[in-house]
Amino acid sequence: NPLALLIGDLPEACEPGSTEAPPATPPKIQFPVILNGQILPGQTDRYVFHAVSGEHLVFVAQARDLIPYLADAVPGWFEPVMTIQDSAGTPLASAQSFRFAQDPVLAFEVKETGDYTLQIRDAIYRGREDFVYRITAGKIPFVTGIYPLGGLSGSEAKVEVFGWNLPRRFVSIAVPAGEGVQTLPSLRNGFATMDVSFARGEIAESLAVEPDNDPSHAIPATVPSTINGRIDQPGDVDVFAIKCAKGSPLVLEVFARRLNSSLDSLLRITDSKGTQLGTNDDLEDKESGLLTHHADSRIDFTPPADGVYFVHLSDAQRQGGPGYGYRLRCDRPHPGFSLRVVPSAISGAPGATVPVTIYAMRKDGFTGEINLAADSEGFRISGGRIPAGSNSVVATLTFPDAAKGTPVPLKITGTADIAGSKVSRNAEAADDMLQAFIYHHLVPAPELLAYPLPDRPPRKSLQLAEGTVRIPLDATGTASVPLPKNFDKNRVRAELKNPPEGISIDRVLPGQDGVEIAFRADPKKAKPGSQGNLIVELTTGKAAAAGDKNQAEKRWSIGFLPAIPYELAQQ
C-alpha cells in the first residue's frame, strides 16, 4: 500500500490532527509556506494571511495527488475546495479543480492591502483521517504549461513557458537522446499538482503555423514526422495534408493529455472531396496509469487510393488556448510492446512460489508471443510466456532458498520476434489500482522489489513432473506433482486461482510419488485453442480428534505450484 511522503524546501505549518483540539481562532500564516491539514466530517480549515495590494499570490492544493486511488473506500475521494475571503467574510476567489486535475489551484491578485482568510473543505463536507492535504502558498512560481510539448532527441529546444510569477518566458532545453517523456528539472518547482512533462522523439519535428484551419490552407506533412501544434482558441481546427500511396498503412496519433495538455483531441481524416474516412476521439492507453480521462486520439489508416488526404485536429469540447498544445505523430506502423509487472513489491518465504501478473501493451499491430525471464540471481519465473494475441499472463516467481532479509531489486525481461529481429524490453513495476469501484489502472512504481521474508522458515519448492498440460474439450488433462514420500497424499487438495473461463479442477488423485491433478474444460464456456497458465495452490489437512463432532478438519497451505502452462484442444 504505497503512500507518498513529500519533502519540500519551504517552511511547513500543520493544522491540529484528528486527536487534537481545534484552535480557538484561525492561525495567521507568513508566506511562503506549506500548509498541512486533515479534513474530518463537516470540517473547514481556515488560515489568515496579510497581503499587500498588487501582489500575485498562488495557492496550490495537493490532496488527490497524494492519494490518487482509494480501493472501494467510503465516503470516496477527498474533493477539496479552496476559497479566499476578505475581512468582512465576502468570497473573492474560489477553486475546486485545475483544468483536468482534481486538486484546486488559486491565482489571487490582491486589490487592497489587508487581512484575508483562506478556507479549505471537502466539496460536500465529507471527511476521514486520510482526507489530508498540502497547500503551497505565497508569491511562488507556478508553471501552467509549455509550448512545444517536445522536441527531437539530441537537439537544443527553445520552449515557451506559461504560468504565474515566472522569472522568464522562454527556456532552452538540451533534449536527451532516445524516445520517451521526461520531467524538466529546470521547471520542476515542486509546487505543481503535476510535473512539467517534455517528450522527445527520433523522427523529424515541425511546428504548425497559422492559418491552417481548412484544406485550402492545410500544412503539408511528411511521413514520418511529429508535428507540434496548439489549438489556439475555442473552435480552432488545425488541418494537415499528407500525400499517401494506396494500401500503405499510416499511424496518426495525438500526444496531448499524456503530456499534461488540456486538449481533449478529436482527430478526423478526409479525402480531397471532403468525405470522412476515419475519426477518433478517445483512445485508452494502459501505459498512462494515472489518467482517468484518456483524451488523446489515434487513427490507423490505410489509404484506399493514391492521393492527398487531410487530417483535421480539434478539441472535442471546442475549447482552446495556450494550454492546448499537442504532438501529432504521422508515421508508419512500428510493431512493438512494453511490459508492466503487478504487484510492484513481491514478498515470500525462502523457496516459496508466488503469483505475479505481467501485462503487455502491444503497439502498432504487434500480436506475437512474448517470452519472459527473471534476470535476478536465484529467482525463477515459471509460465513465462504471454501467448500470441493475449495482453497478459499470470506467471509465478520462485524465491531463492536462502533469505537475505532485505528487499532485492528484481528484473523481468520480455523478448519477442518482430519482423525477424529479437526485441527485448524490461518490464516496469506497477500496481493495480481501483477507481470508482470498477476501473483498473496500472499505476507505475519506481522499481520492482522482491522481499524474501527473513522470519519465515524456508520452503521446499514444489515442482511439476511435466510441462504444458493439454486439455481436450469435455475431457481432462493432468499434471503430476511429486511430493515427499512421508507426505500424506490422501489429504492434499488443490485450488485453482482465478481460473480461465470454463476450466476447473476435476479431481486430485494421490499416488506413491505425489498427486495427479486433473483439469476439465467445459465445452460450453471454454474457448478452443486458448493458451495461458493455471495457478494452483495446494493445501493439506489434519483430521479432527476422535469423537469430537464439533471440530472441523484443520487445513493449511503447502504453497503455490509453479505456473502450469495449458492449451485447450482445437475443435
pLDDT in tens, 72-90: 555 577 899 999 999 999 9
Mean pLDDT calculated for residue range 103-122: 96
Min mean pLDDT across 185-189, 224-228, 446-450, 562-566 is at 185-189
Report the candidate in 315, 289, 102 with the shortest Cα–Cα distance to residue 193.
Answer: 102
List the Cα angle 162/295/96 in 5-degree steps.
Answer: 60
Residues 205-227: what's their mean pLDDT?
Answer: 94
Rounded mean pLDDT, 327-338: 97
Quote the percentage of the chain above a pLDDT of 70. Answer: 94
Q: Is 232 exposed, middle or buried (0-12, 13-18, 19+ CB in 10 A)?
A: middle
What is the rounded distance in angstroms from the CA atom of residue 496 to the CA atom of residue 218?
58
For the sheet with 449-452, list strands across it: 345-348, 449-452, 408-409
How many whole angstroms separate alpha carbon 188 and alpha carbon 9? Answer: 13
pLDDT digit string (tens) for 358-384?
999 999 999 999 999 998 888 999 999
Beta bridge mates, 105: 60
pLDDT of residue 463: 84
Cα(102)–Cα(82) distance, rounded to whole angstroms?
A: 12
More confident residue, 546 or 104: 104
Question: Which of the four pLDDT bands, split at 50, 70 and 90, describes residue 550?
Answer: low
Return d(Cα 173, Cα 155) in angstroms, integer. 8
What's the rounded mean pLDDT across residues 263-270? 97
Q: How far apart are CA 273 and CA 279, in angstroms?
A: 16
- CB contact at 8 A, 368 and 422: no
Q: What is the pLDDT of residue 475?
A: 85
User: Could you give the 3-state DSSP secondary structure of residue 233?
Assistant: coil
The grid coordinates listed for 27 are 492561525
- State the pLDDT confidence band at 456, using cuts at 50, 70 and 90: confident
Q: Dihedral of the CA atoms 478, 481, 486, 492 (nearest 10)?
A: -60
pLDDT of residue 149 exceeding 90: yes
Q: Which of 15-19, 137-141, 330-334 has the lowest average pLDDT? A: 15-19
* pLDDT mean over 95-121: 94
172 vs 336: CA distance, rounded Å = 32
Q: In sequence order, which ranges of 162-232 are alpha helices (DSSP H)?
A: none
Provide mean pLDDT across the span 266-277. 96
69 pLDDT band (50/70/90 cuts)? low
Residue 544's pLDDT band (cuts 50, 70, 90): low
* Spatial distance between the Cα atoms of 103 and 308, rounded to a whole number of angstroms: 44
The predicted structure's pLDDT at residue 551? 66
Give the number of other Cβ atoms within 10 Å of residue 466's Cβ: 9
Average pLDDT, the chain: 90
DSSP strand E in 316-379: where? 325-331, 336-342, 345-348, 353-363, 370-374
Question: Distance (Å, rounded) from C-alpha 35 to C-alpha 48?
Answer: 12
Query: Could you tell me whether strands 197-201 and 150-152 are parallel, antiparallel, or unpaired per DSSP bridges?
Result: parallel
DSSP 119: E
Q: Is the pLDDT of residue 190 over 60?
A: no
Least Cα distance to 435 among 81, 1, 76, 99 occurs for 76
Q: What is the pLDDT of residue 376?
A: 83
Q: What is the pLDDT of residue 363?
A: 95
Residue 408 CA, chain-centre distance (Å), reads 23
pLDDT band of 9, cuts 50, 70, 90: confident
Identify the pLDDT of residue 466.
Answer: 73
Do 281 and 316 form a contact (C-beta atoms < 8 A)?
yes
pLDDT band at 188 (very low <50, low <70, confident <90, very high): low
Which amino acid, residue 450? Answer: A
**SS3 of residue 504 by DSSP:** strand
Cβ-contact 500, 520 below 8 angstroms: no
Between 552 and 347, whose confidence is greater? 347
Lowest mean pLDDT, pick from 131-135, 219-223, 245-249, 485-489: 485-489
DSSP one-letter code for 487: S
pLDDT value of position 460: 75
Pairing of strands 219-220, 237-244: parallel
b/e 385-403 (16+ beta carbons within 10 angstroms → b): bbbeebebbbbbbbbbeeb
Q: Is the pLDDT of residue 107 over 70?
A: yes
Q: What is this structure's pTM?
A: 0.87
Task: Collect all residues with Cβ–Cβ distance below 8 Å to 41 and sequence separation of at least 6.
Answer: 125, 126, 127, 128
Q: Which of 102-111, 185-194, 457-466 has the lowest mean pLDDT?
A: 185-194
pLDDT of res. 66? 85
Q: Using CA of residue 84, residue 261, residue 289, residue 437, what is the dihedral sign?
A: positive
Give residue 141's identity as a one-letter amino acid code: P
> Reduced to 3 states, what is the DSSP secondary structure of residue 185?
helix
Between 347 and 77, whose confidence is greater?
A: 347
Q: What is the reported pLDDT for 488?
A: 87
Q: What pLDDT score does 464 carry?
A: 83
- Residue 375 has a pLDDT of 83
| Nine cell digits for residue 569 | 484442444
Residue type, 221: A
pLDDT of residue 73: 57
Q: Is-cis flag, bond preceding 148, omega within 30? A: yes
Q: With 70 as the cut, is the pLDDT of residue 243 above it?
A: yes
Q: What is the mean pLDDT of residues 130-146?
A: 92
Question: Is the pLDDT score of 481 beyond 80?
Answer: yes
pLDDT over 90, % of the chain: 67
User: Tens of pLDDT along 399-426?
Assistant: 988 767 788 999 999 999 999 999 999 9
